Structure 1
Amino acid sequence: MRGILGLLLVLLCAPAPANDQSLWEKSTLNRILKRGELRVGLEAGYMPFEMLDKKGNIIGFDVDLARLMAKTMGVKLTLVNTQWDGIIPALLTDKFDILMGGMTITAERNLQVNFADPYIVIGQSVLLNRAHEDKVTTYSQLDDPRYTIATKLGTTGDIAARRFMPRARIRSFESEAEAMIEVRSGRADAFVYDLPYNVVYAARFPDAAVHLKEPFTREPLGWAVRKGDPDFLNWLNNFLRQIRDEGVYDALYRKWFENTAWLKHVAG
């Protein structure tokens, strides 16, 4: 009994753990509130997540979520358009506060950044040159040296093409538009990329390519933040849970993924 009482006294008299207030002072969320500005990193061009309208403004599903996030925080929103292959380094060097560019959560990326809970799940699909419309019906048929596959550099589509179509010739490009020019011209046979983008592209340019609609991967997308910031992650997860519970998330999803009225406003 005396041993237990002694242990309790030691625990009660021991120094308290480091004050969590110090974590909060360093938190990105705290700095956002003090600055009065939420800086969001993305790359315009990934329909329907973020793209340029005819006036040069960035619009899309992620943009509406970011705008709602800033409103909830009571701060202004600044969008930082960043090239994809440098977007994680830009986050790590504080060019913006959060990466909301439709990034797939992977173990490799998670070594560099932390992810909030997935906000949408997608997969990779194929946009096919119309010359192959009756010859190729599944992604697996493209695993052949006769075919050239276009991908976007540094994306999970690039990784998936190399993994599932290792015998095909893979050509990577800086943007979706460049890759699709190759497919439409016949210099590439197919484009491997995220299902939502491919659905929208096929709806926008019905004569340009054939969409093989069945995704062949399953990929959760998440918002990325710098490591060592539990307060910001906690807030983001609760924000996502709240907008889902209130039906706001579903309304935005329908606007961008089930309705194509916004296509008339997109540049190009």
Structure 2
Amino acid sequence: MAMHKTAAKAVGASALAALVLTACGGGDESESSEEGGEMLNNAGTLQVCSDVPYPPFEYFDGDGNVVGFDIDIAEAIAESMDAELEIVQTGFEGIQSGVALDSNTCDIAISGMTITEERAGNMLFSEPYLDDNLGLLAATAADVSSLDDLEGLAVGVQADTTGATYAEEQGYEVREYSDSGLLIQGLESGQVDAAIGNISILGYQAGESDTSEFIEEIDTGEQLGIAAQSENTELIEAVNEALAEMESSGELEELEDTWFLEGDTPEEGDAEETTDDEAAEDEPAEDEGDE
């Protein structure tokens, strides 16, 4: 089983370890257009739910196009199925709960989503395409050197993520944000002193920020996967075949290097300004985060 080491920007160790992919056996070597149509909501089009922005997995570039590591993978999958790619912007709650898939909002979901037992009960997951851990990012002025320093500090997380679950289980003073962009804004503006989330995201942000620093990796052994409706085994098999081909050809490793190592990626477009009132809407109830 091949393992490829990657690292997020500004994280000096093998913060992102590699992917573990297993070729899917059985079935024909190639899908016909007719067979591809039966797997999809709309024949000839692969609709992909993704929570944008979530750099470097998915975000808007300066021209307003959705780009990122996940998007490149989605494009390769669509090409392998001889289908056009359509990105459907979807809130992460709808993605991780399986609601977006069950309502036929999209065919597959790819959004830096960790495979968990609970989520696997609501959808089919592909073979993992990236190994990931959680990480701790803190404001440089917060005097945080480890997780032990978080007592009494405000810790930001993205709602409905494994980072949020971890922070709540630890009993931290948690403030939730609806997306990673708002989470980073909250850290940079001083609404929170630290942030906990996937190391692939926070390590990337650390490399882009002069006001925050990556503090610590939290070894949770997470793996990211692509999801389809629970009964759509044919589609998830096609996804696995595409991922296995990308793995064997070296394309997947090249994408990892591009998005997590080299830093030669499109600049983010200007995000919409968030007012204090809008940001406050993402603040949790006072007892949120306590088990």
Aligned to 2:154: 148
| SS across alignment from 2:106 | coil
How far the C-alpha of 1:74 sits from its partner, in A, is 1.0
How far the C-alpha of 1:179 sits from its partner, in A, is 2.1
How far the C-alpha of 1:188 sits from its partner, in A, is 1.3
Report if the CA contact (8 A) 1:33-1:75 is conserved. Answer: no
Cα-to-partner distance string for 1:136-194 (whole Å, 9 max, x where unaligned): 2222332x2x111111111111011112x31x211111122222232223231111111
Aligned to 1:217: 220
The sequence identity of aligned pairs, in percent, is 27
| Distance in 1 between residues matched to 2:265 and 2:216, nearest whole Å | 21
| Distance in 1 between residues matched to 2:213 and 2:41, nearest whole Å | 47
The amino acid that maps onto 1:178 is L
1:39-54 pair list within 5 angstroms: 39-54=47-62
Distance of aligned partners of 1:246 and 1:129 in 2 relative to their CA distance in 1, 3 Å threshold: same
Q: 1:138 aligns with which of 119, 141, 146?
A: 146
| Distance in 1 between residues matched to 2:182 and 2:55, nearest whole Å | 15
Range 170-179 or range 181-190, more displaced: 181-190
1:105-116 pair list within 5 angstroms: 105-116=115-126
With the length of structure 1 as denominator, give the TM-score of the two structures: 0.82
Report if the CA contact (8 A) 1:199-1:213 is conserved. Answer: no
Cα-to-partner distance string for 1:20-65 (whole Å, 9 max, x where unaligned): 9xxxxxx876243971111011011111110110111100011111
| SS across alignment from 1:104 | coil
| Distance in 2 between residues matched to 1:240 and 1:40, nearest whole Å | 15
Q: Alignment length, in residue pairs?
A: 237
Report if the CA contact (8 A) 2:53-2:59 is conserved. Answer: yes
| Distance in 1 between residues matched to 2:42 and 2:100, nearest whole Å | 21
Report if the CA contact (8 A) 2:127-2:240 is conserved. Answer: yes
Report if the CA contact (8 A) 1:28-1:97 is conserved. Answer: no
The amino acid that maps onto 1:110 is A
With the length of structure 2 as denominator, give the TM-score of the two structures: 0.76
Report if the CA contact (8 A) 2:76-2:242 is conserved. Answer: no
The amino acid that maps onto 2:153 is Y
Distance of aligned partners of 1:31 and 1:233 in 2 relative to their CA distance in 1, 3 Å threshold: closer
1:80-95 pair list within 5 angstroms: 80-87=88-95, 88-95=98-105
CA RMSD of aligned residues (A): 2.2
- Greater helix percent: which structure? 1
Report if the CA contact (8 A) 1:29-1:231 is conserved. Answer: no
The amino acid that maps onto 2:178 is E
Report if the CA contact (8 A) 2:36-2:44 is conserved. Answer: no
Aligned to 1:193: 197
| Distance in 1 between residues matched to 2:51 and 2:177, nearest whole Å | 15
1:48-127 pair list within 5 angstroms: 48-87=56-95, 88-127=98-137
How far the C-alpha of 1:211 sits from its partner, in A, is 0.9
Q: 1:170 aligns with which of 174, 186, 191?
A: 174
The amino acid that maps onto 2:226 is W
Aligned to 2:166: 160
Q: 1:237 aligns with which of 229, 237, 240?
A: 240
Aligned to 2:6: none
Which structure has the larger Rg? 1
Report if the CA contact (8 A) 2:58-2:66 is conserved. Answer: yes
Report if the CA contact (8 A) 1:61-1:253 is conserved. Answer: yes
The amino acid that maps onto 2:188 is R
The amino acid that maps onto 2:127 is D
| Distance in 1 between residues matched to 2:165 and 2:36, nearest whole Å | 31
| Distance in 2 between residues matched to 1:241 and 1:130, nearest whole Å | 41
